[in-house]
Amino acid sequence: MKQELLQRIFYGALGLLTLLAFGVGLAAAGGEGLAFALFAVMTIGGGIVCVWERSVVRSAFALMSTFTGIAGLFVLLEADFLAMAQILIYVGGILALLLFAVMLTPPDLGERKLSRVAVATAFVGGGVLWLAFEVARTAQWFKRGAPLDGRAEGPHGSAERIGVGFLAAEQYVIAFELAAVILTVALVAAVYVARRKRADLEPEKEGA
Amino acid sequence: MGLGAYVAVSAALFALGLIAILSRRNVIYILMGIEMILNAANINFVAFNRFGSMQLDGQMFAVFTIILAAAEAAVALAIVLNVFYLFDSVKPGEADLLRE
C-alpha cells in the first residue's frame, strides 16, 4: 500500500516536471525548444525511472526511453547517421542483450533501498551540481557555428561524410580496422565465455 | 537551443548513471549505469562537434564509443551469466572465489 502511494507520488511529480519542461522549452525557443524538451525529458526521465524502479525489467524498458531520446537529441544536433546507429545498436542490440540477461536471473524486488538511493543522489547530485555551477561560471560557450558542410550540398546529411572518413587513408581507416578487430575478438570471446559449461567453471576440489 | 542545454542534459544523465552504479546491488544495474555514462559522453561529443563547427571528429569519436559499448555489453553480459551460474547471485559483492 505504501509502495503504491510512493509510486503514484513519484510518477505524478515526473508528469508535472515534464509539463513544466515542455512549457519552458516552448517559451524559450519555440518549436525547436519543444522538441529539445521532449527529447531531454525522454532521456533524463528514462534515467530517473531506471534508477527508481524496483523491477529490473521495468528499468530496462525505461532505458529504452533514454536511448531513444538520445537519438532524438542527435537528430537535433544534425548527426543523422549517429541517430540511426543509436537506435539500431542501443535500442535494438544492447537493450535486447540486457533483457536477455534479465530473463536469466531471478527477480529481486527487495534489492532497491530508498536510503541508499537517497545517499547516492545526495553525493553525486551535489558533486555534479557544484561542478556544473563552476563550469557555468567560468566557461565561454560556443555560439551556434556555421552550418556543417553537408547541409549546403543538399539532403545528404552526415552519413556519406562519415563513410568517406572511415575509408579515406589519411583519416580514420586505421581506427576503423582496429574497431573491427576489437569487435571480432570481443564477440568471439563473449560467445566462448557464455557457452562454457558449469563443470568448467567450478574450482577443482581437493584430492579430486 | 544553446550548447549549455545539451551539456546540462549530458551532465544529468551522467549523474543518473553514477547514482545507478552506486545505489544498486545488482550487476545488471551497474551495466545500465555504465551505458548511461557512455551515452552522456556521446551527447557531449556530438554537441561540441556541432556547435564548434568542426569537421566530423566529434561524431567519429561517438561512433567509436558506440562500437566499444557494444563490445563491452556483450562481454560483460557473458561474464554476468557465468557469475550467476557459479554463485547463484548477481550481487557484485558475492563473487569472492579468490578469497579462499
A115-133 per-position pLDDT tens digit: 888 888 899 989 998 988 8
A90 and A190 fall within a common domain: no
**Cβ within 8 Å, pair B62-A104:** no
The reply to whether A48 falls in a domain is yes
The reply to whether A22 falls in a domain is yes
Work out the percent of chain A whose per-residue pLDDT is above 90.
24
The reply to whether A207 falls in a domain is no
The reply to whether B44 falls in a domain is yes
* Stretch 125-154 of chain A: residues touching chain B, C-beta under 8 Å: 125, 128, 131-132, 135-136, 141-146, 148
Work out the percent of chain B whose per-residue pLDDT is above 90.
37
CA distance B13 to B16: 5
Taking CA–CA distances from A102, the nearest residue in chain B reads B28
The whole domain housing A193 covers 156-197
Identity of the residue numbered A31: G
A100 and A168 fall within a common domain: no
pLDDT in tens, B67-98: 999 999 999 888 888 888 888 777 777 777 76
- The set of residues, in sequence order, having a beta carbon less than 8 Å from that of A135 and lying 6+ positions away, is B7
Query: What's the confidence (pLDDT) of residue B51?
Result: 83
- Tally of CA atoms within 13 A in the half-sphere of B23 that contains its CB: 26
A89 and A166 fall within a common domain: no
The reply to whether A202 falls in a domain is no
Band (A99; pLDDT cuts 50, 70, 90):
confident
The domain tally of chain B equals 1
Query: What's the confidence (pLDDT) of residue A152?
Result: 46
Average pLDDT, chain A: 82
**Residue whose cell numbers read 505524478:** A12
pLDDT in tens, A49-92: 999 888 888 899 999 999 999 999 999 988 888 999 999 999 88
Residue B20 CB coordination number (10 Å): 28
The reply to whether B64 falls in a domain is yes
The reply to whether B100 falls in a domain is no
- pTM to 2 decimal places: 0.86
The reply to whether A140 falls in a domain is no
The domain tally of chain A equals 2
A95 and A179 fall within a common domain: no
User: Best of B14, B43, B46 to disrupt the A interface by mutation (most A CBs within 10 Å)?
Assistant: B46
Of B44 and A78, which is predicted with more confidence? Answer: B44
- Chain B closest-CA separation from residue A1 CA (Å): 23
The reply to whether B98 falls in a domain is no
**Residue whose cell numbers read 509510486:** A7
The reply to whether B60 falls in a domain is yes
The reply to whether A150 falls in a domain is no
**Cβ within 8 Å, pair B13-A132:** no
- Chain A closest-CA separation from residue B99 CA (Å): 13
CATH number at residue B68: 1.10.287.3510
Whether A38 shows a pLDDT value over 90: the answer reads yes
The reply to whether B78 falls in a domain is yes
The reply to whether A204 falls in a domain is no
Band (B41; pLDDT cuts 50, 70, 90):
very high
Least confident of A85-94, A153-162, B30-39, B88-97: A153-162
